[in-house]
Structure 1
Amino acid sequence: MRNFVAVLAFLTLGAVFNANAVDEAKPYITSKEVDLSQYLPAPPADDSAQTKAEIAELLAIQAKRTPEEEKAAIADAQENVWRFADVMGAKFDAAKLPKVAALFERVVATEDVVDDHAKKFFHRSRPYMVSDEIHPLLKKSTSGSWPSGHSTLGYLMATVLADMVPEKRNELFARAAVYAENRLVAGFHYRSDTVMSRTGAALIAQKMFEQPEFNTEFDAAKAELRAEMGLK
């Protein structure tokens, strides 16, 4: 009986691991296709005049941030495309758009693996690691600050969405800029981290759109989204 229970527990545990493996989104490209460490300049040193100026900017933002701004910055810490619902409208709903959801899960995975390599390469200290006067709104991370992964993802998601719904292109990129700005409000990044993310997002998007698998899933998701939104 003990052996049976042990085997059952092992099989159950294995099933859980297998399910997790199946559910994990596969990136469209990795740092092998786009090595940001080869395209981006090195970040300013922690004791540089630029970093000191950026710390001063963050302290100014921190001093005047309102409860509403803090709430928005915390909400934008979510790394998913549904943060763009305020631009896309009420029909932009994961439950109604499974193909869109699946596509952007892979987009998120793509940004994560590409940016993670660059963060480890550059290893820029987060603002709160340099100054104990910075009080972040979120749980502290020890990963590199350069470039901002959240900001890269925001601009990348805006790029893909803008190709699906060009009618909202300007609003999408404006929202991506707010998504990036909220990393400063949260005390998690320097402005230069977020500026550099624009380059990273453009490079990732360009290479991603060269992948046949991405284009097949993109076309299906685009058709689904435009149909749901009543666009021809």
Structure 2
Amino acid sequence: MIRVVIVDDQALVREGLRALLGRADDIEVVGEAADGNDAVRVVERTEPDVVLMDIRMPGTDGITATRRILGASPSTRIRVVVLTTFDSDDNILDAIGAGATGFLVKDSAPEELRTAVRIVAAGEAMLSPTVTRRVMQAAARSPRVRGTEMLSVLTEREREILAEVGRGLSNDEIGRELFISPTTVRTHVTRILAKLQARDRANLVAIAFRTGLVPPTDP
């Protein structure tokens, strides 16, 4: 069973998410919280696999709570999926920096919600094309870091794969683009994560844009 904690300041939203997740045989909601501080306490008590985290809440917001939850133990297996409304949230890069692994629009279809939980519980990042475009827009407004120095630890092939990750491609899609197997892509991604000391694939997307490896104007 995939153990989930729901964090949102609106009781109706929490109730709706619980009902949708409850229809899956492999997902169990083990706790709820209405603010960031409560979220940290609930997560410590229940030890979930996945936290569905609202960004905008009174008091301690979702980004701060995510940072506290994931910073408590660098080796934690907990994954955070940020609940957002892309029309108003400009915090995608901040959420990635805090360690969020997935992003989900609050009015997503029920099966998309359940799929997102399963994807991040399996250790993958949930980055839709919409999220990738949002990262591009945020990166265009953010100060760039010195990509030459940061990316110097990567081989030419690893930089090539990082660029494709930044564009939102899956391992299978990258393999088709570069004529290599998905297993080989996965091996390269693992090495890139280690070399850049990145937490997960979502963090790699942000790095690809912040270093200029992928121009924000790319499609």
Q: Shared topology, TM-score over 0.5? A: no
Given the two structures, how large is their TM-score scaled by the length of structure 1? Answer: 0.22
- Max radius of gyration: which structure? 1
Q: Hey, which of these two has a bigger chunk of strand by percent?
A: 2
Q: Hey, which of these two has a bigger chunk of helix by percent?
A: 1
| Structure showing greater relative contact order (alpha-carbon pairs closer than 8 Å, 6 or more residues apart) | 1
